[in-house]
Structure 1
């Protein structure tokens, strides 16, 4: 195996672990509560309009507009939720990180405990041995016309996404076509499942970010990773479309978390 390639995968895994255990990672979520536009008090006291399980009895007052803009009054000043690339609007207050999420027009307040011990004690992520054969250069094919596709979410709800391209490669003599149903930092993201799901990898799906170069897209399955819902019940993850469920094993990338 090329040492530079092996080192690059090791570096990617280190960055992945750092992101997962960061204060805005997926290990310190405490709540996800449905909310509607309007003005509402937030806190751990049940007398609040929206009760959360972390933080002070009365954290403050959230005001949410129908277009998703949100402000928060902590009793001393009013603060605007800030938009962050690849993330919902967010605000730090009272040792918590608040985010206003939206799926198919439905809003929710997502809460992270910045100092949570759970992320500090995280044992790490187990992965398969790096296998350069699973770094695949696939054809990146534009669709004749963009397609609007409905996808299922782990909550039982559905979302709608627009697809403009597909990735195509050959595995063991069979043509495999994958659809990128999402985007991450401007790159196509594939929600996939293979025959290791449920036994060795997370059962619902894994995610894979493609690297596009001209009419090719690199699908490096050594970087396939478990979705947020593998680590918390408060994440809303997409499930793979039928075309992205592969009838063979991909023994590369992340394995399922220890408690799954």
Structure 2
């Protein structure tokens, strides 16, 4: 009798192990695959080039949110880290017409479309973030454990190209996370992340923030 129970328990453990490998190990492997083909030095150079272009835009463009461009010394960033470039499983909504009322930084509201959830592994935990669509653009608005400390308290954004989603998977690169314009100029109204998009971990990647107001 005890032997049969032991065998049944052993079989259960084996089945759970297989399920873990299928559903979680695949995600882990995919997460690793999001960065394994990019040499770290090449990646750091690419990210550095993009950040320089953004600094130039903020310093010179009439569309820049920076009002005093002569005092602008460049944006602040965490060092590029491939750990924060992860592969996510895209979980679309069955009802494509689901809407979300998004609160803006000036107290107004806008209507966004719920596009999908993005599920990914980071720091040994599985996370899910709501992906929103507005004016044809896809983005993730999120907060994390750095918000209001090392990064902007109003949250940060990641933009996603629709054609970057293949077979319900997409690469989320938190090194590209950026602050909304209202972080640099209160005259702008920016959407605030929905409550469910608050990550319990610290995302030390992308734009940092120091309140200079």
TM over 0.5: yes
State the match for 1:233 in structure 2.
Answer: 186
In proportion to residue count, which structure has more strand? Answer: 1
State the match for 1:169 in structure 2.
Answer: 120
Q: Does 1:141 pair with 2:91? A: yes
TM alignment of 1:14-53, pairs within 5 A: 14-21=52-59, 22-28=61-67
Question: What are the Cα deviations for residues 26-61 of structure 1, in whole angstroms up to 9, with x where unaligned?
Answer: 113xxxxxxxxxxxxxxxxxxxxxxxxxxxxxxxxx
* Counterpart Cα distance in 1 of 2:193 and 2:81: 24
Report deviation, 1:135. Answer: 0.5
Counterpart contact for 1:150–1:161, Cα < 8 Å: yes
Q: Does 1:213 pair with 2:168? A: no
Q: Does 1:248 pair with 2:195? A: no
Counterpart contact for 1:141–1:167, Cα < 8 Å: yes
Change (3 A) 1:187 1:120: same
Q: Residue 181 of structure 1: SS of its match in structure 2?
A: strand
Q: Residue 45 of structure 2: SS of its match in structure 1?
A: helix
**Structure 1 unaligned runs (5+)?**
29-117
Report deviation, 1:5. Answer: 0.9
In proportion to residue count, which structure has more helix? Answer: 2
Give the counterpart of 1:199 among 149, 174, 179. 149
Report deviation, 1:180. Answer: 2.1
Report deviation, 1:121. Answer: 2.5
**Structure 2 unaligned runs (5+)?**
1-38
Report deviation, 1:166. Answer: 2.0
Runs of 4+ in 1 over 4 A off after TM superposition: none
State the match for 1:157 in structure 2.
Answer: 108
Q: Which has the higher contact order (CA 8 A, sep 6+)?
A: 2
Q: Residue 179 of structure 1: SS of its match in structure 2?
A: strand
Change (3 A) 1:132 1:183: farther
* Counterpart Cα distance in 1 of 2:131 and 2:58: 23
Q: Does 1:13 pair with 2:58? A: no
Q: Residue 145 of structure 1: SS of its match in structure 2?
A: coil
* Counterpart Cα distance in 1 of 2:88 and 2:138: 13
Counterpart contact for 2:180–2:190, Cα < 8 Å: yes
* Counterpart Cα distance in 1 of 2:178 and 2:102: 19
Counterpart contact for 1:209–1:219, Cα < 8 Å: no
Counterpart contact for 1:230–1:257, Cα < 8 Å: no
CA RMSD of aligned residues (A): 1.9
